[in-house]
Amino acid sequence: MQSHDVRTLLHCSLPTVAAGAVGVAVSAAVAGGKGAIGAAAGTLLVVLFMTSGLVVLQRTARTLPHLFQMMGLLVYTTQILLLMVVLTTLRSTSAFNPKCFAFTLLAATLVWIGAQVRAHMKAKILYVEPDSARTTS
């Protein structure tokens, strides 16, 4: 990964983990230990899904830049659909509190997307590579 990719990953994951920690604390206060486990699982799932999507997008941008926008839409749609499938599958579990899991997952997803938008807006990435090999006369 390039340095700006790692910076984007850090600028997205740190606020998401912080929001997840708040979700774990609130869930523990509201629903006890099962709520805290559900909130932690939701946060972990968001970080894993969104990090993998960011890595896929960065590799696509590097190797197939003409497919970047299409891949971005495909990756985000797939991530949201997979999160919906996970929520639907785990809605009646007894291993943790599903409501705490769902609310923390939603909050962490929104924080990740907001942090990613902010990171991309603040990044100073050239969209045209200057040609250093050619000299102007």
- Inform me whether the pLDDT recorded for 134 exceeds 80: no
Of 45, 47, 26, the closest CA to residue 35 belongs to 26
Structure tokens at 15: 């606020």
Most confident of 35-39, 50-54, 120-124: 35-39
Is pLDDT at 136 greater than 60 in this prediction?
A: no
Give the pLDDT confidence score for residue 112 in this predicted structure: 93
Query: For all residues of the chain together, what is the average pLDDT?
Result: 86
Residues of the chain with pLDDT > 70: what percent? 87
Residue 108 and residue 17: Cα distance in Å, rounded? 8
> In angstroms, rounded to a whole number, what is the distance separating the alpha carbons of residues 110 and 102?
12
pLDDT tens per residue, range 7-17: 888 889 999 99
In this predicted model, what pLDDT tens digit does every residue of 66-106 receive, in sequence order? Answer: 888 888 899 889 988 998 898 888 888 888 998 999 999 99
pTM for this model (two decimals):
0.80
Average pLDDT over residues 22-39: 94
Residue 45 CA to residue 39 CA, distance in Å, equals 10
Phi/psi region, residue 32 (left: phi>0; alpha: psi -120 to 50; beta: rest), is left
18 pLDDT tier (thresholds 50, 70, 90): very high
Beta-carbon contacts of 22 under 8 Å, excluding residues fewer than 6 positions away, are none
- Whose CA is closest to 101, among 40, 38, 24, 37? 38
